[in-house]
């Protein structure tokens, strides 16, 4: 099989050297590493399709990988097999005249899309995940990553016009309007069933995303940043709810533990506005009234510092806290946040001494996603300390169970999937049937279901 793969991509683009296998054995999170049997780096969708045909014939697992910047273990090969590095798919096509959209191959990183569009006076609605300077378009869609700008636009699905996906048998499907070979990926909601949605958040279990089509907009004129301190979780949640109700913020985050020293209080809320000068002025005035009614205390400068460093601040903070980390997160209605957050805090209170002795740290926050809120809980430790590393993996699963029992619906769950999905009943059974139909030999990221 190895020689067949080398024929497809060239011997220089396939490897089974130990040091390279170890480099591809994990993502940015602290899920325990697993080695693939070999790594293949295709340069085109046609090569991806040919690789899948060979793997399907040999019934070998195939794991798609972008930049590996996820923290959930999505590209970690649970059962060995062929790792397909999609960073070689780098083409960007901008359609200004026909449909005001951008087509990006799976290996294109978010900041590349942003810069290319900016030169033309356009922008995408979502700025990409926190790891935008390294995260790929295909990988972000495959894990359903929450992105900067979710307060205004919601999930990635709201911005996707269509996808190109290579299936397990090597066939390539173009979804939405692009199902018509004479058309472009300009509209998702056509041709009957929404097959685009099948790949969003699928972790490569149903197909390998080779191209993404995204909406574009006129480049915004101005930005404004705000930060507020609150003395109760209820007040902070009420403030975030007000921003969502009146559709004010482009992006909004909440700090609960630890709260930055510059903010203080029990919780902090930061948010960002985008638009024309007059829109910023109007939305800024409305937001200040909402914060005041929720008893928020304005914190000068922090909001601007936070958002202007938005693509580096989190990486720096996590690096200092770790360098290893895991994260569990999910969605609930905004005003239910305080009750769930208090249960998470109670969980950590019971383990305070153990975590301290092992050098384990944690954080709790929230991200506004239009009409809901996302609760991310991050756990940090030094991976050099084996006992601490093993314990944060246990904490990870325990917190996932705690949050699920309180109604939190998980996202980008990765290796948590096998512990959660079977409890979804009919939803899981339908997912499984679709998987069996599209991938009868179960070669696509096996172990995720």
Q: 222-308 with 313-412: one CATH topology?
A: yes
DSSP 201-247: T-TTSS-EEEEEEEE-EEPPSEEEEEEEEESSHHHHHHHHHHHHHTT
Decide if 135 contacts 128 (C-beta within 8 A). yes
Residue 17 to residue 230: CA distance in whole angstroms: 53
So what's the pLDDT on residue 2?
84
SS3 179: helix
Contacts of 116 (CB under 8 A, 6+ apart): 92, 94, 102
So what's the pLDDT on residue 399?
93
Angle at which helices 2-9 and 45-58 cross, to 10°: 170
Q: Which fold has domain 92-127+135-144+155-218?
A: 3.30.465
Residue 221 to residue 124: CA distance in whole angstroms: 14
Angle at which helices 277-293 and 233-245 cross, to 10°: 150
Strand pairing category for 409-410 and 101-105: unpaired
- Six-digit token pair at 219? 């480049």
Q: Rounding to the nearest 10 degrees, give the CA dihedral for residues 400, 406, 408, 410.
A: 20
Query: Which stretches of the chain score pLDDT less than 70?
Result: 95-99, 312-323, 412-413, 415, 417-418
Decide if 410 contacts 420 (C-beta within 8 A). yes
So what's the pLDDT on residue 332?
96
Domain ranges of the chain: 92-127+135-144+155-218, 222-308, 313-412
Choices 3.40.50, 1.10.3470, 3.30.70, 3.40.1350: CATH for 313-412: 3.30.70
- Cα distances from 54 to residues 5, 107, 386, in angstroms, run 8, 22, 38
So what's the pLDDT on residue 69?
79
- Cα distances from 302 to residues 260, 270, 293, in angstroms, run 9, 8, 21
pLDDT tens for 99-120 read 689 999 999 999 999 999 999 8
- Six-digit token pair at 270? 């930061």
CATH class label, 222-308: alpha beta
Strand pairing category for 82-85 and 62-65: parallel
Residue 422 to residue 261: CA distance in whole angstroms: 42
Decide if 259 contacts 203 (C-beta within 8 A). no
Residue 106 to residue 45: CA distance in whole angstroms: 9
Rounded to a whole number of angstroms, the CA Rg of the chain reads 22
How many CB atoms within 10 Å of residue 135?
A: 24
């Amino acid at each position: 099989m190895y020689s067949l793969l080398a024929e497809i991509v060239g011997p220089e683009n396939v490897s089974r050297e130990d040091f390279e296998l170890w480099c591809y054995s994990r993502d940015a999170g602290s899920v325990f590493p697993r080695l693939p049997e070999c790594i293949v780096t295709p340069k085109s969708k046609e090569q991806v399709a040919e690789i899948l045909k060979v793997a399907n014939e040999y019934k070998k697992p195939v794991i798609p990988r972008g930049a590996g910047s996820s923290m959930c273990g999505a590209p970690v090969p649970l059962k060995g097999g062929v790792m397909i590095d999609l960073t070689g798919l780098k083409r960007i096509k901008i359609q200004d005249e026909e449909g005001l959209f951008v087509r990006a191959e799976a290996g294109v990183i978010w900041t590349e899309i942003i810069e290319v569009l900016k030169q033309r006076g356009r922008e995408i609605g979502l700025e990409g995940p926190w790891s935008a300077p390294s995260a790929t378009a295909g990988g972000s869609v495959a894990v359903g990553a929450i992105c900067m700008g979710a307060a205004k636009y919601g999930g990635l699905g709201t911005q996707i016009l269509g996808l190109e996906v290579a299936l397990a048998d090597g066939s390539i499907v173009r979804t939405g309007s692009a199902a018509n070979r004479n058309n472009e990926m300009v509209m998702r909601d056509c041709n009957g069933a929404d097959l685009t949605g099948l790949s969003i958040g699928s972790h490569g279990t149903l197909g390998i995303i080779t191209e993404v089509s995204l909406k574009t907009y006129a480049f915004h004129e101005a930005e404004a940043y705000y930060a507020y301190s609150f003395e109760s979780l209820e007040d902070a949640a009420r403030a975030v709810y007000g921003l969502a109700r009146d559709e004010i913020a482009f992006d909004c985050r909440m700090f609960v533990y630890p709260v930055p020293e510059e903010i203080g209080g029990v919780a902090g809320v930061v948010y960002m506005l985008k638009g024309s000068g007059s829109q910023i002025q109007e939305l800024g005035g409305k937001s200040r009234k909402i914060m005041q009614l929720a008893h928020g205390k304005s914190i000068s400068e922090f909001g601007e510092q936070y958002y202007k460093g938005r693509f580096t601040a989190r990486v720096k903070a996590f690096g200092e806290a770790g360098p290893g980390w895991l994260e569990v997160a999910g969605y609930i209605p905004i005003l239910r946040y305080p009750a769930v957050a208090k249960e998470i805090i109670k969980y950590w209170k019971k383990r305070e001494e153990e975590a301290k002795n092992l050098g384990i740290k944690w954080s709790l926050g929230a991200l506004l996603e239009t009409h809901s809120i996302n609760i991310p809980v991050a756990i940090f430790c030094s991976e050099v300390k084996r006992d601490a590393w093993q314990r944060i993996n246990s904490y990870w699963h325990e917190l996932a169970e705690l949050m699920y029992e309180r109604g939190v619906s998980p996202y980008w769950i990765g290796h948590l999937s096998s512990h959660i999905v079977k409890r979804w009943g009919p939803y899981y059974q339908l997912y499984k049937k679709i998987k069996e139909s599209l991938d009868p030999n179960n070669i696509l990221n096996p172990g995720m279901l």
